[in-house]
Structures are given as structure tokens and as C-alpha cells.
Amino acid sequence: MRVGWIGLGVMGRPMAGHLLAAGHDVAIWARNPAAEALLANQGYALCASPAELAARSDVVITIVTSSADVEGLAFGSAGLAEGFGPGSVHVDMSTIAPSMARSLGERYAARGLAWVDAPVSGGEAGARNATLAIMAGAEAGVLDRVRPLLLTLGKTLVHVGPPGAGQVAKACNQLVMVAAIEACAEAMRLAAASGVDLAAVRTALLGGSATSRVMEVMGDRMVRRDFAAGIEARLHHKDFGLVLQEAVALGCPLPIAAQVWQQLNALMGLGWGRDDTASLLRVLEAESKGQP
Amino acid sequence: MRVGWIGLGVMGRPMAGHLLAAGHDVAIWARNPAAEALLANQGYALCASPAELAARSDVVITIVTSSADVEGLAFGSAGLAEGFGPGSVHVDMSTIAPSMARSLGERYAARGLAWVDAPVSGGEAGARNATLAIMAGAEAGVLDRVRPLLLTLGKTLVHVGPPGAGQVAKACNQLVMVAAIEACAEAMRLAAASGVDLAAVRTALLGGSATSRVMEVMGDRMVRRDFAAGIEARLHHKDFGLVLQEAVALGCPLPIAAQVWQQLNALMGLGWGRDDTASLLRVLEAESKGQP
């Protein structure tokens, strides 16, 4: 399949590599020419603009940072929409506002083009090992056309609903996951303030109803005080902006999501935005003069 | 082993049954004589007071509701401490304040008697299937003496630390678990308000970093709108009182725990205290005129 790829960050680079390894004809366009040059001798074709990339691709996959980035790539000057031939598909794997995903789906549909929002969970390790969980919003027929491609990148693919529904699921995912990280941090802080061994508490909790992937992975980081970024906390801070913006638009109060957002705000204010979100433990310590 | 048992509620009754089935000589004392009479012809010996129970037992296990209940059983009139012979052990599996557990441990130690706080996670199903996670606070030598007995009741037993440490771990467990239930409820509410299928969102989240036992079990209850109690929400409301009381005593701010406590308060105010904690979803619906 002729695939176009935009987004060569910590997630995008290994993901594009899986497509190349699987034998697809992969072309890239990068905002930063240095990144493009670096990748050229690895077997990627290079394009001069998103429009040119779209013109030579059956499917273009984007994984970038913000709603505005994706809109610009799709409908900006020399954007994908200018280049796509009939029946082409834009699969966006970024985490953006559900309302933006719905709107882009409608604008593409009005031109006879197809859209899939397919955000992922699983972080850098999931991208590297092709074990991502993919949450898709798309018309069923469209999703079927790109399903084999997406399953090269992840181990689960759930069709959540029409365009935008994948981003709603991703918003739910981020809400639940970062709230779990905050809850884990509060538990660890309570244990430390009580003079109890954190590793033993984590082990005890992993055996019962409170067990979770977050307790396993982030609890371990907190016990070892390893705050080097897996996924940078500033990205979760951004994601929570989307969750709360959506909640406000819907008149749907989300009390602990709002509180977690403020803890992420504190994390940013304390200068740990490029560290791991396990740093929510350090925010609680700063608030109570705990260690270090 | 001669075991005394106090506490014949939804957890205690199946747990005592496992000890009987394992061939232990189990005696009971119940506040309510009707409960005692009912159990007599199942093979339990009956005692007239906690003191009498203590006098004929190597180990007495209690699983009751409140800190005051446990203190009364231990050091009240005709309490366990009056009856215990040298080297006897009181194992309390209730969820009580860590400070109370520490204090009872000290009072027993002053009399040459032994104490274990061994609260559990896993709920009614865990009690019935002997798959509870047990978190123990005790001197190591004391715990060794009751370890085989406890492993008749659960599948994991973690020695968290000295007396009181088991209750600290349990407080952490409840904090993390009920915060996860609230986060799950907020995600489900956001999905519903967005018009997206809740079951698909749950499936998508189970595949990624947000996965947890709570999402599996309580997410399913929310999707099916099954609010019949596993463990009654009023017990989690009580547990959160302990968590926050401990946090206040330690000067240790726990922002989302505090917020979850208020959601549980709302749940109580709305009259769902004897329903399942999955009712936190209904609290959010009440706050935003969602369904039903």
C-alpha cells in the first residue's frame, strides 16, 4: 500500500518504521527538513508538501501534537485535502479534540474523501513494540480498508463509533489513566507520611481490587523515584485541556478530572513538564514538605 | 488450631466457613444471638462473651465495621484481653483507622499479647472464593504463627510492616480503588454525554494503559446499569472517612481523595448508600440531568 506519514516524534518514528518493515511503500513529509534528510536513506520516499504526499498515497497517517496542527495539515495551504485523489483516507492518530475530529470528518466527507480518527494508548513502548491500543472513530466501510495497516501498529483496534468517537474514547482513556496516576501518587504519599514501606504497599495493592497497569508501571517508578519521561507530563497536561474543554461544552461536570488537571497545572508550574507524569508524587511532596 | 471468630457479615460468614472446612476447631461469639443459633448446627462452638472466646482460642479473628467496634471487643468489658492466655493472638481483618490499629497493638504488647492487623481486598466474591488479598501489619514472628491460617482465607498475604501498617496499606487500597471507580464513572458519563457507546469505550480502554480491575468489573456494572450492591457504597464512604482523617492528622493533602469523598457524600445524600459504588455514575448524572 502507498502510505504517507507525517509525524516523526517519539511515537511516530517507530510506528512509521513498522510500516516500512512490513513492506509498504512509505513516503514522509516533515516540517523539519533535517528529520526528513535523516530518514531518507532508511528507505522512505520524501515529499515537498502535505499535498504532494497526499497525491502519491492511498492513505496518509498523521500523528502530531495539537488540534490546530492536524487542521493545518489537512486543510491549510498545500494541505492533504488539496492533493488527495478520490477515495483517499486520512487516518489521524494524534490526540485532538473530539469536536475537531468530527468537524474534519465532515469536511472531508463533503469532498468525497474519508477520515479516521485513530488515537492510541500504550506510549513509547507500545509504539516501539507495535502493542498500541487503537481507538477508532470512522464509518465502518472506511475502517475496514485501513484495518490491516493499523494492526501493523497495534495489538488491539476497537471501532468505537463514527468520526470523533475514537477521540472521545481517547479522552476517556486519558481521564482514567492520569486520574489513576494521581491516585497512585496520593496513596504513595500517604504511605510515606505514615512511615510505611512504599514497595510493600504497591505489592499489597497489586494483589487486590485496586490493581491496575498504572499501579504496576507508575507505582514502580514512584517507588524507585525514577522521574525520567516515558511520555512527558506536558502532553498529559495538554490532553486534560481537551477533556475539560469537552466537558464544559457538554455541561458535563467531571469533578476529579478537574482536580487532576489542577495537579498537572501545579506540576507544570514546578517545572517538571518534560519529566514523567509520575512527578505528580513530587507535586504532593511540594505541597506538604515531604521528601526529598 | 483453636480459632475464635467474631463477625458474621457478608465477608465474615464465608471466611469462617473456610476455616471450619479446613478442619480447624472454630468457636464464635455474636452480638446477635439469632446469628449464633443459626450457625451452631453447622459445627461451630458457641461462646457467651469475647472473653470466653479468647480463653478457649489460640487465635481470635475479628472482622467487624468500625474502629470503636474492634476496640470494644478487645478491651471492653468481658473483652478478648480479659480472656487471652499467654501468647494468644488477636488478628483483626476489619478496615479501621491505622492509628487505632497501632494503639491496640501497643496495648496488647504491654500485656504480653500479640496483634495482627490484616485487612483485606477482594470483596464478597474474594471472601467466598478464598481469593482475598491480605495486607498485614505485625511483628514478623507473630505473623509467621498465623500465616497458614490466613492463607486459608486469601490468595496473597503481604507483610507490609509493623502493627498499623496493614491498615495504612488498606487505606491506600481504598483510596486508589474508589478513585478509580469515580474516574471510570466520569469517563462513562463523558462518553454518554458525547453520544458514544459505553461498552465500546470500556473495551477500548481495557486494551491500553488505562486498564484496571475496576474498569473491568465496575465499568461493566456501569455499562449494564447494574447497581445492586457487591460491597455497599456506605462502607466505602466510611473507609474514606478513615483515609481523610489519617491525611489530616499527618498534614498530608490528598486532593482527589478529598474530592472522591465528596462524591461519596453526594451518593449517600441521594439515598444510594446500600447500593453498589458503581452508583457514582448516577451521582454525575444527577449533577448534569443525564440519564436515566
CB A117 within 8 A of CB A94: no
pLDDT computed for residue A38 by the predictor: 79
Alpha-carbon distance B54 to nearest alpha carbon in chain A (angstroms)? 29
| Binary contact (A288, B253; C-beta < 8 A) | yes
Residue B196 lies in a domain: yes
Within this chain, do residues B54 and B133 fall inside the same structural domain, yes or no? Answer: yes
Within this chain, do residues B248 and B222 fall inside the same structural domain, yes or no? Answer: yes
Within this chain, do residues B31 and B134 fall inside the same structural domain, yes or no? Answer: yes
User: Which residues in chain B are contacts of A135 at CB distance < 8 A?
Assistant: 204, 208
Give the total number of structural domains in chain B: 2
Instruction: Render the burial of B101-126: b for 16+ CB within 10 Å, e for the rest.
Output: bbbbbeebeeeebbbbbbbbbbbeeb
Cα–chain center distance at A280 = 19
Lowest mean pLDDT across A141-150, A188-197, B27-36? B27-36
CATH of the domain at A6: 3.40.50.720
Nearest C-alpha neighbor of B170 from the set B238, B63, B237, B96: B96
| Binary contact (A205, B169; C-beta < 8 A) | yes
pLDDT computed for residue B31 by the predictor: 87
Residue B231 lies in a domain: yes
Interface-testing mutation among B120, B134, B172, B236, with chain A (most A C-beta atoms within 10 A) = B172
Radius of gyration of chain A (CA): 20
- Chain A CA closest to residue B165: A196
Taking 70 as the threshold, does the pLDDT of residue B290 lie above it? no
| Binary contact (A190, B260; C-beta < 8 A) | no
Residue A248 lies in a domain: yes
CB pairs under 8 A between A and B: 280
Round to whole Å and give the CA distance between A261 and A264.
5
Residue A292 lies in a domain: no
Residue A183 lies in a domain: yes
Round to whole Å and give the CA distance between B115 and B137.
9
CA atoms within 13 A on the CB side of B173: 33
B250: nearest CB among A161, A194, A256? A194
Within this chain, do residues A152 and A281 fall inside the same structural domain, yes or no? Answer: no
| Binary contact (B132, A288; C-beta < 8 A) | no
| Binary contact (B133, A287; C-beta < 8 A) | no
Q: Give the rounded percent of residues in chain B with a pLDDT score beyond 70.
A: 99
Catalytic site positions of A: 170
Average pLDDT score over residue span A217-235 = 95
| Binary contact (B205, A172; C-beta < 8 A) | yes
Write the ipTM. Answer: 0.94
User: Which residues in chain B are contacts of A93 at CB distance < 8 A?
Assistant: none
List C-alpha distances in Å: B134 to A84, A172, B64, B120: 60, 31, 16, 5
Within this chain, do residues B134 and B182 fall inside the same structural domain, yes or no? Answer: no
| Binary contact (B205, A169; C-beta < 8 A) | yes
User: Which residues in chain A are contacts of B283 at CB distance < 8 A?
Assistant: none
Q: Which helix (H) or strand (E) element contains residue B154?
A: strand B154-161
Structural domain span for residue A214: 168-287
Within this chain, do residues B8 and B153 fall inside the same structural domain, yes or no? Answer: yes
Domain end, chosen from B162, B179, B202, is at: B162
Within this chain, do residues A106 and A181 fall inside the same structural domain, yes or no? Answer: no
A135: nearest CB among B182, B204, B253? B204
pLDDT computed for residue A145 by the predictor: 96
Residue B258 lies in a domain: yes
Phi and psi at residue A189, in whole multiples of 5°? -65, -40
| Binary contact (A290, B252; C-beta < 8 A) | yes
pLDDT computed for residue A277 by the predictor: 98
Residue A280 lies in a domain: yes
Residues A250-283: tens digit of each pLDDT = 999 999 999 999 999 999 999 999 999 999 999 9
Residue A117 confidence class, pLDDT cut points 50, 70, 90: very high
Within this chain, do residues B14 and B110 fall inside the same structural domain, yes or no? Answer: yes
Alpha-carbon distance B16 to nearest alpha carbon in chain A (angstroms)? 20
A176: nearest CB among B172, B203, B215? B215
| Binary contact (B207, A133; C-beta < 8 A) | yes
Within this chain, do residues A270 and A182 fall inside the same structural domain, yes or no? Answer: yes
Nearest C-alpha neighbor of A116 from the set A159, A84, A79: A159
Residue B292 confidence class, pLDDT cut points 50, 70, 90: very low
Alpha-carbon distance A16 to nearest alpha carbon in chain B (angstroms)? 20
Within this chain, do residues B182 and B268 fall inside the same structural domain, yes or no? Answer: yes
| Binary contact (A207, B284; C-beta < 8 A) | no
Residues A1-11: tens digit of each pLDDT = 899 999 999 99
Taking 60 as the threshold, does the pLDDT of residue A291 lie above it? no
Catalytic site positions of B: 170
CATH of the domain at A194: 1.10.1040.10
- Chain A CA closest to residue B243: A190
User: Which residues in chain A are contacts of B156 at CB distance < 8 A?
Assistant: 204, 207-208
Domain end, chosen from A94, A129, A162, is at: A162
Taking 60 as the threshold, does the pLDDT of residue B291 lie above it? no
Within this chain, do residues B68 and B100 fall inside the same structural domain, yes or no? Answer: yes
Within this chain, do residues B182 and B271 fall inside the same structural domain, yes or no? Answer: yes
Domain end, chosen from B120, B140, B162, is at: B162
A190: nearest CB among B190, B204, B252? B252
Residue B187 lies in a domain: yes
Q: What is the largest CA-CA distance in chain A?
A: 65
Interface-testing mutation among A95, A153, A184, A186, with chain B (most B C-beta atoms within 10 A) = A186
A252: nearest CB among B159, B197, B288? B288
**pLDDT higher for A40 or B290?**
A40
